[in-house]
Amino acid sequence: MLPRDDHGRILLKGVPRPQLLAWAGEHGLRPGQADQLWAALYRTLRGEFAVMPELDRPAREGLAAVARLDALRLESVKRAADGTCKLVFQTDDGAAVESVLIPGKERATLCVSSQVGCAMNCQFCLTATMGLARNLGAAEIVDQLVIARRRFPDVWISNVVFMGMGEPLHNLDQVLPAIDVMVDDHGLGLSHRRVTVSTSGLVPQIRRLVAESPAQLAVSVNATTDEVRDAIMPVNRKYPLAALFAALRELPLARRARVTLEYVLLAGVNDSLADAERLAELVRGLPCKLNLIPWNPHPGSEFRRPEPEQVARFKARLQELRLNTSIRATRGDDTMAACG
């Protein structure tokens, strides 16, 4: 059964193609019309049934009587000095949901949200101060990409990262079908190699994601001892570092595949050279790449961003230990759109 809004209307977005085509057939659309509906949703990015020339008038009117297209409404776009754009959407129940468009030289990345707020309570994260209000539906997740492509038609958004508001693996029942839609060759057409799902370390859900989805996995590590990780990431009390890395080593990764490990650098907390050496020990033998993220300040937090020289020393020590390491450039911090 397809999801419905509070008024009983079918939400067409976020439903994998076989299910949507089957529903369309049950509601009187011919197979060719069902394909045209899918294309209107994800190729031509139609926002209203009235401007959907792919279908004839009776089909449009029939759909409009029982279904809706957009699940979100774009409220504002805030552009940072570096070109990064924060998109603020509103849900039917009045919640604000954020995505961030990060432009590159030839293509762009969209950072999407999976929840309103977050339950993980990571101490360095601004979203954690909200607590968890609710999960986003698959339609609301997919709509972030659809509306962003519609809003920026001259920007090729080829990458999606689930690194916005929320813990994606806490909402897998909605995240998985959303990914299916994003990577469908007949629709949004993303390569599965360009969809990345980030987690704070929910071990059973990591196994499920890898088993059921072609998306790439990123894990926020952020500490090299359980004592520190317990303090800044409460999820560690349930899934400590040893359990997390044991699970990562057991994953049936494809040949040449690597897990991305994210490490938010916090001055005086986890950025010492001893931390770098412990991190190298933790990942030994695991096919991975390390993504260092200098923490981005927000009001009311006790944490500090390390000096650039310390970030460089941390990276250099990891590279001396033969680890594939990069530093994520800070983008969009003047609009509160930055990672970390």
Q: Which amino acid is at 14?
A: G
What six digits make up the tokens of 123? 């101490």
Active site residue 302: no
- Tell me the backbone φ, ψ of residue 289, rounded to 5 degrees: -130, 140
Label each residue of 178-198 as H, E or C. Answer: HHHHHCCCCCCCCCHHHEEEE
Active site residue 212: no
CA 62 to chain centroid, in Å, comes to 34
**Nearest 5 degrees, angle CA 77-CA 80-CA 85?**
40
Q: How many CA atoms lie within 13 A of 264 on its CB side?
A: 24
Using an 8 Å Cβ cutoff, are 79 and 96 in contact?
no
Out of 85, 118, 288, 339, which one is annotated catalytic? Answer: 339
Helix runs in 54-137, H state only? 57-66
What angle do the packed helices 31-42 and 17-26 form, to 10 degrees?
Answer: 130
Task: Give the C-alpha distances (Å, rounded to integers) separating 233 from 124, 202, 226, 340.
Answer: 9, 12, 10, 13
Using an 8 Å Cβ cutoff, are 139 and 14 in contact?
yes
Q: Which amino acid is at 140?
A: E
Out of 54, 85, 98, 125, which one is annotated catalytic? Answer: 98
Using an 8 Å Cβ cutoff, are 9 and 67 in contact?
yes
Q: Any idea which residues carry the catalytic annotation? A: 98, 339
